[in-house]
């Protein structure tokens, strides 16, 4: 049976090889030597040798995959990326009066700013919103970063508005001493990451690296040890790092699934290979949109997202017909976010070129049938 192609923004499509392996191992997880252990991963103690081996292997593979330097700690936490909007200032700001600069390039960085303002003095360094739309990233040289800002928060890929940083800003070059904090929930592992520019990065796993329940945090060692007193213990990076993220029960199955995705990504050639494939898929879809007067995407070409492509059809009244037809053609999850309407196709690592070609063929067919 041919499975439909799922363009959902998250939780999102997973590699079929990962799902098949998880199914195979569901009832009786086999260890490294292939010896069945008699339990499902879901039933294991997180302190037992079986799960510890799953955990350590996932951690090591993630470090290899993303080329994370040794002076960064990797944490496997819970609460989703959204909780990090509170947890980052609680860990990095020494007091509620500490200043933090936010680069507002879409819905997610906007949310981060509002939430962080409970725990620090959150200032907007730049607001890219124009007439309710986000379609560009203002040149970092124009950002107004306060001199005393402890960190600058960016969202490397705005999942709703389809605006992506293809290069991280170099804050040192801008003359700022602030650290860079990156919410990379929707473009983590879509290509190599420049750790020399990053102080802290976080991401929910359910978009590009696995299933819901696991949140990844990468924090440079020298930023540990400054958490505010009210920071909850399970969200204290220093304490979690000292406890291998196992102060309490971690999301064991989500860690296992992410581990399978890390192995899959490595076997596919790693992040450079992924980036090449992602560029090809995005090029195909944007070209189809740009070459038609029936579909549109208004994001500046230099910051168009490779992962999430929001677009509109000329005739709004045909939206439901478009989505209905798409489902019949085996294309799922194309409805745009309710705050912006229209359509959105998410092209995460696990989306194949064949899936993207199938979407493009449907777009062309629908236009022929419906354009006036
Ligand atoms: C999905 C998303 C979030 C929220 O993630 P949760 O894990 O649901 O909390 C935050 N930031 C970005 C960029 C996202 O795409």
- Give me the chain's average pLDDT, please: 97
Q: Is the CB of 186 under 6 A from ligand 1?
A: yes
Tens digits of residue pLDDT in 307-320: 999 999 999 999 99
Tens digits of residue pLDDT in 7-36: 999 999 999 999 999 999 999 999 989 999
Q: Which pTM was predicted?
A: 0.98
The confidence band for 204, taking pLDDT boundaries of 50, 70 and 90, is very high
Tens digits of residue pLDDT in 128-138: 999 999 999 99
Task: Give catalytic status of residue 300 as yes or no.
Answer: no
**CA–CA dist 246, 48 (Å, integer):** 12
Task: Give catalytic status of residue 335 as yes or no.
Answer: no
Distance 315 CA to ligand 1 centre (A): 30
Tens digits of residue pLDDT in 152-200: 999 999 999 999 999 999 999 999 999 999 999 999 999 999 999 999 9
User: Does residue 372 have a pLDDT over 90?
Assistant: no
User: Residues 110-146, buried b or exposed e (16+ Cβ, 10 A)?
Assistant: bebbebbbebbbbbebbebeeeeebbebeebeebebe
Atom of ligand 1 nearest to the CA of 160: 15
For helices 80-92 and 107-116, give the axis angle rounded to 10 degrees. Answer: 40
What pLDDT was estimated at residue 2?
84
């Amino acid at each position: 049976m041919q499975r439909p192609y799922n363009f959902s923004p998250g939780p999102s499509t997973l590699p079929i090889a990962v799902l098949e392996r998880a199914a195979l191992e569901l009832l009786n997880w086999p260890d490294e030597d292939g010896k069945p252990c008699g339990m499902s991963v879901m039933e294991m103690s997180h302190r037992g040798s079986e799960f510890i081996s799953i955990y350590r292997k996932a951690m090591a593979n993630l470090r290899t995959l993303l080329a994370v330097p040794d002076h960064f700690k990797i944490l496997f936490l819970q609460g989703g990326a959204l909780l990090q909007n509170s947890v980052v200032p609680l860990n990095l700001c020494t007091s509620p009066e500490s200043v933090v600069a936010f680069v507002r390039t879409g819905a997610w960085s906007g949310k981060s700013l509002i939430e962080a303002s409970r725990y620090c003095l959150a200032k907007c360094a730049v607001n890219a919103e124009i007439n309710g739309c986000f379609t560009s990233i203002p040149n970092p040289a124009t950002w107004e970063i306060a001199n005393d800002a402890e960190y600058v928060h960016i969202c490397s890929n705005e999942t709703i508005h389809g605006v992506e940083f293809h290069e991280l800003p170099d804050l040192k070059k801008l003359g700022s001493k602030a650290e860079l904090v990156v919410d990379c929930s929707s473009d983590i592992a879509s290509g190599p990451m420049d750790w020399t520019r990053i102080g802290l990065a976080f991401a929910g796993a359910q978009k590009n690296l696995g299933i819901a329940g696991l949140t990844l945090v990468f924090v440079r060692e020298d930023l540990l040890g400054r958490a505010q007193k009210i920071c909850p213990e399970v969200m204290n990076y220093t304490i979690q790092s000292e406890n291998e993220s196992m102060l309490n029960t971690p999301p064991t199955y989500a860690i296992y699934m992410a581990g399978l995705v890390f192995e899959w990504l490595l076997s596919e050639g790693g992040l450079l290979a992924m980036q090449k494939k992602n560029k090809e898929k995005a090029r195909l879809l944007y070209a189809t949109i740009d070459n038609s007067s029936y579909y549109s995407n208004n994001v500046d070409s230099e910051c168009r997202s490779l992962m999430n492509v929001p677009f509109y059809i000329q005739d709004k009244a045909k939206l439901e017909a478009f989505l209905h037809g798409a489902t019949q053609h085996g294309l799922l999850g194309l409805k745009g976010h309710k705050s912006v309407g229209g359509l959105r196709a998410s092209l995460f690592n696990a989306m194949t070129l064949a899936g993207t070609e199938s979407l493009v063929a449907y777009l062309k067919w629908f236009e022929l049938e419906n354009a006036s």
